[in-house]
A and B are shown apart, each in its own frame.
Chain A
Amino acid sequence: MKWFPSFGFQRRKRELQEEIDAHLQMAIADRVARGETAETARAEAAREFGNIPLVQDVTRDIWGQGWLEQLGRDVRYALRQLRKSPGFTITATAMLAIAICANSTVFSWINGTMLRPIPGARDTGELVSLQRGERNFSPTPPFSYLDYHDLREQNRTFSGLLAYHNDWIALTGGAQPERVYIANVSANYFDVLGIKPVLGRFFLPEEEARAIPNVVLGYSLWKTRYAKDPAIVGKSIEVARHPVTVIGVAPEGFVGAAPGLRDDLWVTLDPLGTDGWRMTHRDSDWLIVIGRLRPGVSRGQAAEDLDTVMHHIVLAYPDQHLGDNRVTLDPMWRSPFGANGFMAATLPILLAFAGLVLLLTSANVATLTLVRFVSRRRELAIRQSLGANRMQLVRQMVLEGVVISSVAGAVALVLTLWTSKTFAWFFPANSIPLILNGSMDHKVVIGIAVSSLLASMLCGALPAWRSSHAPAIEVLKTESASISGGSRNRKLLSALVVAQIALSLPLLLCSGLFLRTLRNLAAANPGFEQDHVLTASVGLNIAGYSNDEAKLIRRKILDGVSALPGVEVASLTDWIPMTLIQKRDDAYPEGYVPHPHESLLVQNAEVGPRYFESLHIPILEGREFTLNDDETAPRVIIVNETAARRYWPGQDPVGKKLRVGGSLQAVIGVAKNSTHTFLNESPEPMVYMSYFQHPGYETVVQVKTEGNPVDLEPMVENAIHGVDSRLPVFDVRSMRESTQMASTFAVIESTLAGVFALIGLVLAITGIYGVVAYRTQLRTHEIGIRMALGASRVDVLRLVLVQGLWLTGIGLALGLAFALGLTRVIGRMLYGIGANDSITVVSVVMLLGAMSLAACYLPARRAMRRNPVTAIREL
């Protein structure tokens, strides 16, 4: 039997025991053979062998130089030391756990959104999102099918380019129509993303542009509506009253290519053959395009390549490409299509704030640790003179920090399991299929480990390294004279306090700015009525009514809702402002020569008669739409002030013509500017078209109510169902509730910044209090002597306060410089307030200064009230 050399400590211990036993057995056997009795033989052999545990001990020392055993000893020592001061241990662990959790929470949100842009897709780092023309924060689909097709066939830098277009649609045929989010996709869609079906197949290249009614189901739809029917492939289902054949089911977790949005099912680009126009016209931009870069190709090279192809397209079809046609590429984590554009603008900054909180907390814990090491100076010195070398001491002190940070990291990990899921709470009820939330995986765990490591370095290693410099003999000799731990430690303590104040100031300032932004947003006038307005969406188009049926139903709904008691005005629209939804189309004003590279995309909406009246948007010139502006009448539009000024500066816009949506239309009125998406947007041109001339894809009934709009919800819904009980009605909401979507990010920013600033304030104040109190206590003796020699109480107060004020002053000065640099970064996230708003700056500085002063005053007062005689006696 072969015994492998073992590295396991326990096994080696067992083997040594066995070896010694064998030694004794053989010695006994020899003695018995020589004629001794078993009794004496055993006793003599044991005596001859000597102290067995000691032999084991010295032998183990030979292999005890293994680092693992030594580490175990050091960890046990560290735990024993920490147990001795539970107050410090619990405080430090709790503070670090909160700080690490702040980081891991924000990181889990980033991880769940920006770092997982397309769940299920292969290697999303290779994917890029294509944008054409002027860069925009939330652009509309930029490509026509034919342009996409040419880019796909002629580029040399992509292994694949896919295209998709999202829309709402209704699943009919069941007991209840179900509103689902559908995507028209190019045939290579799943292939480029690297998705394999769980059932059936995906689309074939030859099916892409042909009218073949095939559908691929999303996993959750297959599960909920079709109970995971294993024989679903080949079956016919009804989409918007058209029979379509299920050809496959997508895998679990895959929800489409638009980050943060959930597709329920996928069809080809024109499955019913009803969209021939947009399949054959280059001026119909409706596709969002994502490409997979060939290995080794950079984004810059790919953009150049696409620009070349695009240039040829523009030369060949100049009339369909009037505006800016440059192609820009974004990695998926900041793709402007879907939610990641918003995420990328918000979350990294919040992570930076969380990082500040971690630094601040580490500085605070480092202060506590340093004070602890100074008070353990004698112990350390004795151990050093007993032969412990400096490296060993430092290692043991560092280990205490590592133990605390590791426990804090573990606590943070558990907390993050819950906090990562709180991200979804920030999003109010809305009509977007959002699936935003944080997610926990190995990346978050690594993040927590890195944070813990950083924290342990800052709050363990730094003080340990400084403390270990104290020469042992000096420490032991000078019992009390240098009790404050030498000037080196004093300097480090001061630096740490200054750092805490300097780090908390920017947190406070940013949170102040965010909170005031939130207040300004709530108080701002968006230019339209938000109270007393109710909107309800009707699934007319998505339910598959014919155009004539739909036209009739719309009129009936309008009449029915208008007649309700409590309704002042009812109108129709296909768009609700400030819900993050936008519609854009190219607009060509007659006689207007665009600047080179000027984008001609304008936002537009189809609105019915009395729309502006229902929202209290004043018509500055001309008139509003009426019921007579229908398909039989000349095409008419209303523009906003910005559009009027831009296209016809210094002229009367009424009567001017604009080509939009495929036809030339006459301006009949100018509406006052109102907010489209965000309150802090710069005014953009807007074109309103007449609802009854261009029936919008969405049908939203908009009602101006006399009283609380929420009270009217059931009546409006009933009135719509009174026209046709099968009509899907959804997203019935007050305007106030809908527009909350626009301030979601301000709410996220101010909530987090507020929490972080509060943590920062508490830490900075307790930090300065702790240090001043500690130093004052050490100077009790000195203060007693000063008082005995005639110093007044005011002198003592001044003595203590001055050192605290110095630290505060330096901290505030450094912090202010840092803060003013940092606020520049958040400048564009603010509303109604400058990044260096003097009122906020002054109040934050005063707040922090006053709190620090109070924190210094408490120990000062205590020192002042001491009896000098007892103070002198005390050491």
Chain B
Amino acid sequence: MTAVGAAGVRPRPRRGLLGTLASTDHKALGAGLFTTAFAFFLAAGVLALLMRFELARPRLQLMTLHGYDELFTLHGSTMFYLFATPIALASGVYLVPLQIGAARLRWARLALAGWWMVIAGGLIMWMGFLTAQGAADVGWYSYWPLSDMPSSPGIGTDYWIVGVLLAASAAILIAACVLATIVTLRAPGMTMLRLPVFTWTMVVTCLMVLTAFPALVVAMGLLLAQRQLGGVFSGAAGAFDYQHLFWFFGHPVVYVVFFPFVGAIAEAIAIFSGRRWFGYRPFVLSLLLFAALSMSVWGHHMFTTSAVENRYFSLTSTALLVPAGIEYFDALATMWRGRIRFATPLLFALGFLVLFVIGGTTGIFVGSPPLDYHVTDSYFIVAHFHYTLFGGSVMGLFAAVYLWWPKVTGTLLSERLGRWHFWLTMVGMNVTFFPLFFLGWEGMPRRVADYPKASGWETLNALSSAGSAVLLLSLLVFVLNVVRSLRRRVPAGPDPWGGQTLEWATSSPPPPENFPKPLPPVRSFAPLQDLREAAS
């Protein structure tokens, strides 16, 4: 531990890779988990590029049917279990103690174990590629009975289950630490209704992890037992039970990997509009309502099974437009009569607003059973959730990276490369994913490696694949920007943007104890903005 000991002597932190891997400083831990997750993002992105390459033209060019099945399974699984969830929590591990004026993370060793489990789980899952029958090929949701031994005998599927078990358990541990930190380590004056906006999004994120992820752990445990011993699932009831268990986790998880980035764009919009986030209390209420509803919508993944009460799940799913509408209202109202500066974090935040609303409205569309009967399990769904997860979460993630990079590294990123990165992402994202709406509507199913030549789907598929090349280019620009920033080390100073929350009141990067000097008084959710407004 880097906390000051009883004698007032702080043990010297170990350096090097081993030191980083064993550090319980929430900043080293958060940055390490973040980097691990980002590496998995790049790896899963490579799988996506291979799939888009295969789909650019009809027939099989690059791989076998089985190879394609491994790719979409590992793409989805890596993105959800190893990238999106860990990176959402890593953002909390790094930023939450700083935002609430704490010196450390509660139960940091538990969170450290979580990081190791993510690494181990990822390696085990990907090790499937080295086995004779290849990696798991059962989809990221692994429906029973397809995932049972008779249909999927490969040990890659068992590796996959163990990998998911580790990553899911890790998420529960880390979420518990972040939530405990928020509840017990807030600075004097920081009541729950003075938590910064990002920290509030982490509260609901952790609540959803703690309530939803145990269902995934149970589903994976039972599936492993079924494969190895049998006798767990049987008949139609077994098939439906598995789906209920999985989607009870599987819907909340999309909000788990989304809300921290809502928080990030909220901070970015507030900072670069020169005014604090609008409608704080309704916003907090909308987050809690969203989290509560998220636990009651899972059945909309099962509209076509004839085994759920479609009208109930349609009601809860459609009701989501209310809290989402509140959040959009607050975002636009924050910009209203502000003084807006177009720094890169803001560009990504505005891109988020425009792209996510496409994913959101199409989400309401598929929340209607008669409409879902047509488009479910088609490319329409692929387009819909990539607008929420790429247009929403990933755009928000980049807003967060550009916003907090100076705080974490103490150096500035290039604004010019940032703008290139943003516009290439906007173009690449839309060219890749918008055509998929039409493909799905016209009848192209998901998880196919090939499509009939006469289908008329060649042009749209080729267009989508071309878009994915632009996305690759945009990521290369980002990597270039990161490498350049770390080499040139242009000092950022403690507060390069005019931040509003406590993390901007300490040096960049923050020292091990976070706040060596006394904290500014906390009288609202934007204490630094209070000082600024009092001075002018």
Whether A and B are associated in the same complex: the answer reads no
